[in-house]
């Protein structure tokens, strides 16, 4: 221990200094895989909408072209944003929620998370229906493991959104 540190520690005892937090994740205990699942649904929906968008022909009016570009840009922007939300939510669960004992119970979790993040990147970069489906499938797997760690049973149901994909939900109440 340095002299400077001893001196500051002594001063701190006499007149305590305020604490400045470097790591500021408050261990609040509030985690839920639903955000990642929801973001995956959004990416699937945006890929669908992009696919359904009618491309303007060579003789299309400028207004039609403008309308097309406006819609396409908005769908892409939303897809980008929600793919990033997905990746962030997965990272939070992985880095902050899951503990070593959870990994012993779910030894494939490392691999699932790694695949989920890769699918998230691909879903963001490309207009790729398979990657978007993978995002949801992997988020569902993570959700199953998550709820099991809390001893909460899960069930699969079609989501009540236009995407209507099978989604893992906790059995609460």
Partner 1 sequence: MEPSLHPGDYVLVNRWAYRRREPEAGDIVVLKDPGAPGEFLVKRVMSGDRLTGLFVLGDNEAHSRDSRQFGMVPMHLIVGKVRLHTKP
Which residues contact partner 1 (rule: CB under 8 A)? 1-2, 4-5, 8-9, 12, 17-25, 91, 95-96
A 10 A CB-CB count for 147 gives 19
Measured between alpha carbons, how far is residue 22 from residues 2, 12, 19, 25, 26 in Å? 21, 18, 10, 9, 11
Nearer to partner 1, 9 or 69 (CB): 9
Alpha carbons within 13 A on the beta-carbon side of 94 = 20
**DSSP output for 119-144:** HHHHHHHS--HHHHHHHHHHHHHHHH
For the chain, give the number of residues: 173
Number of neighbouring beta carbons within 10 Å of residue 146: 25
Nearer to partner 1, 20 or 172 (CB): 20
Residue 66's beta-bridge partner residues?
Answer: none
Supply the minimum distance, in Å, between the C-beta of residue 88 and partner 1.
Answer: 10
Closest to partner 1 by CB, 81 vs 154, is 81
Question: Least distance to partner 1 from the beta carbon of 60, Å?
Answer: 40
When the beta carbons of 2 and 104 are compared against partner 1, the nearer one is 2
Rounded to the nearest whole angstrom, what is the least distance from the CB of residue 140 to partner 1 in the complex? 24
Beta carbon nearer to partner 1, 116 or 168: 116
Minimum CB–partner distance for residue 16 and partner 1 (Å):
12
Minimum distance from residue 39 beta carbon to partner 1 (Å): 17
């Amino acid at each position: 221990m340095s002299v400077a540190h001893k001196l500051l520690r002594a001063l701190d005892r006499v007149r305590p200094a305020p604490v400045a937090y470097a790591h500021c994740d408050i261990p609040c205990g509030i985690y839920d895989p639903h955000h990642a699942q929801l973001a995956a649904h959004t990416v699937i929906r945006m890929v669908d909408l992009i696919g359904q968008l009618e491309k303007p022909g060579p003789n299309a009016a400028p207004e039609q072209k403008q309308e097309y570009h406006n819609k396409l840009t908005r769908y892409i922007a939303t897809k980008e944003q929600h793919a990033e939300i997905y990746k962030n939510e997965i990272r939070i669960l992985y880095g902050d929620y899951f503990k070593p004992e959870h990994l012993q119970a779910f030894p494939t979790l490392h691999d699932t998370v790694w695949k989920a993040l890769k699918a998230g990147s691909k879903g963001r970069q490309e207009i790729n229906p398979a990657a978007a489906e993978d995002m949801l499938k992997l988020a569902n797997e993570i959700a199953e493991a998550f709820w099991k760690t809390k001893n909460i049973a899960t069930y699969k149901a079609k989501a009540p959104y236009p995407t209507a994909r099978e989604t893992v939900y906790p059995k609460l109440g």
